[in-house]
Amino acid sequence: MPKKRWYHYLPLCGTVLLMLAPHPSLLYVLVDFHLQTLHQPILFGIHLTITYTLTFLAFSSLIVCVARDPGPVTDSGKQRSDRAHDDGDELELTEALMPDIDFSEPGKWCRKCWMPKPERAHHCSVCGRCVLKMDHHCPWLGSNCIGHRTYPAFVHFLACITLLAIYIAVISINGLLYAFSNPYTINEVTPVHEIFLAFTGILFTLVIGSFLGYHIYLSLTNQTTLENISPFMLLKHLPVLPSSGHSLSDPPLEPELSYTQRSLVKDAHGYVQMYNLGWRKNLTQAFGVRRRSGWIYRLWCGGASPGDGMTFPRNPKSDGVLARLADELVKADKNR
């Protein structure tokens, strides 16, 4: 992996700054309005507890996204050598170093980082490595990828920021309504802070909340961002094409497709979701816990996805759609 430079962490500093920026005004509003004007110490304590609990949870999942490896792709040959060493068996040097994989099979071997490429793993050109179940590369989280081991923490971070923004906006808007009704009983500076907080809360709710809604949809349908926005990833899942009668590769490559064939792939992408097993199983696969106490860990920082991140059950209905897509691509190639 290429070593990260100091400037790679500048967006992360911006993320932390944006998370902390509203708090001086928030403390001012809570103390001046709820404590000194309304004289409601219990309500003041409730607002303070909720806002800073959400802030603590957001920073917890942020630290997980930054510090945890999103999903390392290990060399299966090295793993087999280690297992053989533990069992007392001896392997030849070539067998120990070379992984048990067919290099000529498309999608099974990364030709950029020269590592085995498990199912749903992708190569990140910024990080210079393959990531298990890669969702996307996020510069705002320390120029790190969101993958198998960090996706739940990423969704947890978005949820905490959205809830915090909504809560701050509601507090501020209620304070503004009180200020319009009782202009002579409040500090004239307090509405300025409330306007700033209301605008910031609404802005963060719209931006981060929309992003959260999109990832909730991806979780319910068991997709990653790359799988959702890249229809041509279906090509590597197509069944074996006929050996003759067409000029396509096996599997077909995106650059060699005509406009008609590209349209067929995009239409099929709207119907087939390779790993959609139903929303319950999808959520279990993405956020499921293995023990009862795991819910505390999930609520604290999001945790990590269960499983090894290398094998995933597929939607049985997708095979028929992919077979029809392969036939249509071959027919369209013959009519060119």
Contact 89, 100 (CB under 8 A): no
DSSP 93-160: HHHHHS-SS-TTSTTSEETTTTEE--TT-EEETTTTEEETT--EEEGGGTSEEE-TTTHHHHHHHHHH
Q: Which of 111, 98, 109, 126 is nearest to 5 (CA)?
A: 126
In the DSSP assignment, the letter for residue 191 is H
Is 222 in contact with 275 (CB distance < 8 Å)? yes
Residue 188 tokens read as 């004239």
| CA–CA separation, 279 and 223 (whole Å) | 11
Question: Which sign, positive or negative, has the C-alpha torsion 288, 290, 295, 299?
Answer: negative
User: Are the CB atoms for 71 and 134 separated by under 8 Å?
Assistant: yes
Catalytic annotation, residues: 138
Distance of CA 280 to the CA centre of its chain: 18
Distance between CA atoms of residues 181 and 176, nearest Å: 9
Written as six digits, the tokens of 198 are: 């209301």
Number of Cβ within a 10 Å radius of residue 227? 22
Do residues 120 and 224 touch, judged by C-beta distance below 8 A? yes
- 302 φ/ψ sector (left φ>0, alpha ψ -120 to 50, else beta): left
Q: How far apart are CA 11 and CA 106, in angstroms?
A: 36
